[in-house]
């Protein structure tokens, strides 16, 4: 174990620093997700009825789900980068890491597209029915 720290100590330290810098925004976003969940629970508790409350609830649920998926995909990208950096030139492990990064980036693009489409639909539903949100 001592040899591992001597050999990879600098790499592990730099990975820890970079991971911390990359994870801090996700921790802040988790607070936003928690606020969205509390708002959604508050809307349910006040028993607001009508299309306005429905659109708000749908929007909050979509934001929560897409936010959690985005955080998971960023963690997958970080893990794939770690695998790539520790592959020691093994082509099969490098290919696995590249494939993971490629798939995670595609997943992030799908999440951004889903968010844009959902926002567009909710906004247009609100404008058609004359409600505000």
All residues at 6 or more sequence positions from 108 whose CB lies less than 8 Å from its CB, including other chains: 70, 73, 74
Q: Is 75 contained in some domain?
A: yes
Q: Is 9 contained in some domain?
A: no
- Measured at the CA of 76, the angle between CA 110 and CA 74, to 5 degrees, comes to 60
**Any long-range contacts for 89-95 (C-beta under 8 Å, 24+ apart)?**
none
Q: What is the 8-class DSSP label of residue 89?
A: T
Q: Is 123 contained in some domain?
A: yes
Phi, psi of 98 (to 5 degrees): -60, -40
Number of domains in the chain: 1
Does residue 102 contact residue 84 with C-beta atoms inside 8 Å?
Answer: no
pLDDT at 37: 66
pLDDT at 41: 64
pLDDT higher than 60, residue 47 = no
Q: Is 91 contained in some domain?
A: yes
What range does the domain containing 115 cover? Answer: 27-129
Per-residue confidence at 99, pLDDT binned at 50, 70, 90?
very high
pLDDT higher than 60, residue 106 = yes
CB-neighbour burial class of residue 20 (10 A; exposed 0-12, middle 13-18, buried 19+) = exposed
Average pLDDT of the residues in 107-132: 80
pTM over 0.85: no
Q: Is 11 contained in some domain?
A: no
Q: How far apart are CA 47 and CA 129, in angstroms?
A: 20
Helix (H, G, I), strand (E, B) or coil at 63: helix
Q: How far apart are CA 24 and CA 129, in angstroms?
A: 40
Q: What is the 8-class DSSP label of residue 46?
A: T
pLDDT at 65: 83
Q: How far apart are CA 31 and CA 84, in angstroms?
A: 31
Q: Is 104 contained in some domain?
A: yes
């Amino acid at each position: 174990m001592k040899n591992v720290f001597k050999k990879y100590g600098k790499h592990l330290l730099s990975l820890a620093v970079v991971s911390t810098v990359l994870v801090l925004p996700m921790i802040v976003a988790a607070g936003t997700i928690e606020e969205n969940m509390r708002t959604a629970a508050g809307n349910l508790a006040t028993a607001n009825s009508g299309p306005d409350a429905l659109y708000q609830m749908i929007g909050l649920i979509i934001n929560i789900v897409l936010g959690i998926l985005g955080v998971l995909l960023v963690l997958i990208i970080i893990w794939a980068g770690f695998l790539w950096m520790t592959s020691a030139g093994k082509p099969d492990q490098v290919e696995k890491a590249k494939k993971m990064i490629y798939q995670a980036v595609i997943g992030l693009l799908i999440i951004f597209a889903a968010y844009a489409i959902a926002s567009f639909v909710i906004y247009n539903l609100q404008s058609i029915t004359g409600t505000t949100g």
